[in-house]
Structure formats: structure tokens, C-alpha cells
């Protein structure tokens, strides 16, 4: 049991290193060597855990989704149902001590690569479709699929904009998304 946990921890460390390199250098610059160096591993050991960058990208998507679900849960655990949509938006966009600019940049890199990678494209598409359903559900089904899609579009657009111009994006995205959801 301990060996499996150690392997899982090592894979998480590698994915974190992959995310940092992807955020700083893009997918093309996130070479196996660069990731191994960032993780403090030899490239051979990196290949023991992941066969290639595409496998790491798949795992990164899983990690980003899981990280957001945890952030949403943390933001909203004590909130009444009528506040869940605002909590969701805050979890996605609010700038605070728990904000993660690396994750925002990783989403940009991941979305760009999904355009070239059909398997990843389909996973991202399913994720976005699922998030639209979640937004509708947490709004008490007050938001239509179209309006829920607009909220998700705004969130992802704000993440992309924030990755490129963080100072220009700071502070406006969460309040604007909440206004969009209420209109």
C-alpha cells in the first residue's frame, strides 16, 4: 500500500512540475527534460511515471478539474443553496491568497493543445458541458443552458485574459460574472 501512495505522490509532484514549466514555457517548451529538471528527477525516472507529454497533459486536466472542485467546495461549504452560484464564480475567478496563476496559465496551455489533440479535445468538451450543467443546477435551474454556457464562457475567457494580462484582469472578473448570472 505504501508503494502505491509513494508512486501517486511522485506523479502529483511531476504534474505540478509539468504545470509550472507549461505555464512558463508553453507546451513546446515543456520538454521531458525541462519537466524532469523542474521536478528534481532524471528524465529516465520521469519516463517511468509518464510515457510522454500528452499523458502528462491528460493528468494535468484531471488535476486542474480536481483542484477547482476542491476550491469550490472550500468556498461554498457553509453557504446556503441560494449562494452556491456566487460561490462557484468566486471559486473560479476571485483573486485571494489562494489564487493560483499557474493553474490559469495551465488552462490556457491545455486549451491550446486540445485543439491539436482530439482525445484531449473531447475530454475538455465533456468537462465544459458538465460545468454548464453544474452552473444550471447550482442556480436552482434558474439559469438556462444558454445562460449557464455564457457564465462558463465568461469564466474561461477571464482565465485566458488573466493569464496574459493579470493586472488588467485583477478584480473585475468575479463581480462581472455575477452580474451576468443575475441578468
Same fold, 1-51 and 57-182: no
Q: How far is CA 97 from CA 101, 127, 154, in A?
A: 11, 26, 22
Q: What pLDDT sits at residue 155? A: 93
* Cα distances (angstroms) measured from residue 67 to each of 33, 36, 43, 71: 26, 22, 26, 6
Specify the CATH architecture of the domain 57-182: Orthogonal Bundle (1.10)
Q: Tell me: the pLDDT tens digits for 124-146?
A: 999 999 999 999 999 999 999 99
Q: What is the pLDDT of residue 1?
A: 47
Instruction: Name the pTM for this structure.
Output: 0.88
User: What is the architecture of the domain spanning 1-51?
Assistant: Orthogonal Bundle (1.10)
Domain boundaries, given as residue ranges, for the chain: 1-51, 57-182
pLDDT along the chain (183 residues), means of 10: 75 96 94 95 90 94 94 89 91 74 90 95 97 96 95 92 78 87 87
Amino acid at each position: 500500500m505504501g508503494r502505491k501512495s509513494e508512486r501517486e505522490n511522485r506523479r502529483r509532484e511531476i504534474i505540478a512540475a509539468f504545470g509550472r514549466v507549461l505555464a512558463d514555457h508553453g507546451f513546446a517548451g515543456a520538454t521531458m527534460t525541462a519537466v524532469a529538471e523542474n521536478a528534481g528527477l532524471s528524465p529516465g525516472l520521469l519516463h517511468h511515471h509518464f510515457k510522454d507529454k500528452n499523458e502528462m497533459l491528460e493528468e494535468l486536466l484531471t488535476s486542474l478539474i480536481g483542484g477547482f472542485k476542491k476550491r469550490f467546495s472550500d468556498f461554498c461549504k457553509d453557504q446556503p443553496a441560494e449562494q452556491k452560484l456566487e460561490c462557484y464564480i468566486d471559486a473560479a475567478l476571485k483573486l485571494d491568497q489562494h489564487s493560483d496563476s499557474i493553474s490559469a496559465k495551465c488552462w490556457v496551455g491545455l486549451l491550446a493543445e486540445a485543439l491539436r489533440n482530439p482525445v484531449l479535445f473531447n475530454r475538455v468538451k465533456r468537462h465544459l458541458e458538465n460545468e454548464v450543467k453544474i452552473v444550471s443546477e447550482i442556480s436552482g435551474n434558474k439559469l438556462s443552458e444558454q445562460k449557464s454556457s455564457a457564465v462558463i464562457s465568461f469564466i474561461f475567457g477571464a482565465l485566458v485574459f488573466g493569464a496574459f494580462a493579470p493586472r488588467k484582469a485583477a478584480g473585475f472578473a468575479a463581480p462581472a460574472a455575477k452580474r451576468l448570472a443575475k441578468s
